[in-house]
Amino acid sequence: DVKVTQSSRYLVKRTGEKVFLECVQDMDHENMFWYRQDPGLGLRLIYFSYDVKMKEKGDIPEGYSVSREKKERFSLILESASTNQTSMYLCASSPSTQPYSPLHFGNGTRLTVT
């Protein structure tokens, strides 16, 4: 089974802090994704990466950056956390860019910015 592990289940940070959310997958998948999940808004794509050191903006990249230095690890960075970034963050990976290729999600990190 594919395992996508997010480093923290719950995180509380202060406004203005730099926040790192870490994600590791163990199946040598090419593609990795960061989504944000908010009630009534579904899952919205923040950034994705289709290879090491490659990244593409999703639908809501503002206020975020990402890093992919190794194939198995994809980090989401909040440069200066704000209260409107309080959310559930979901990392996912998939083996290919083919349309039928499913996403495998981690259990999420619930971030609260105070």
Residues forming the site for another protein (CB under 8 A): 4, 31, 33, 35, 40-45, 48, 50, 54, 56, 58-59, 90, 92, 96-100, 102-108
Name the CA dihedral angle for 49, 102, 26, 39, rounded to a multiple of 10 degrees.
70
Find the shortest distance in angstroms from Cβ 42 to another protein. 4
Find the shortest distance in angstroms from Cβ 92 to another protein. 8
Of 101 and 114, which has the nearer Cβ to another protein? Answer: 101
Find the shortest distance in angstroms from Cβ 37 to another protein. 9
Of 50 and 72, which has the nearer Cβ to another protein? Answer: 50
Question: Which residue spans within 1-114 are E strands per DSSP?
Answer: 4-6, 10-13, 19-25, 31-38, 42-49, 56-57, 64-70, 73-78, 87-94, 104-105, 109-113
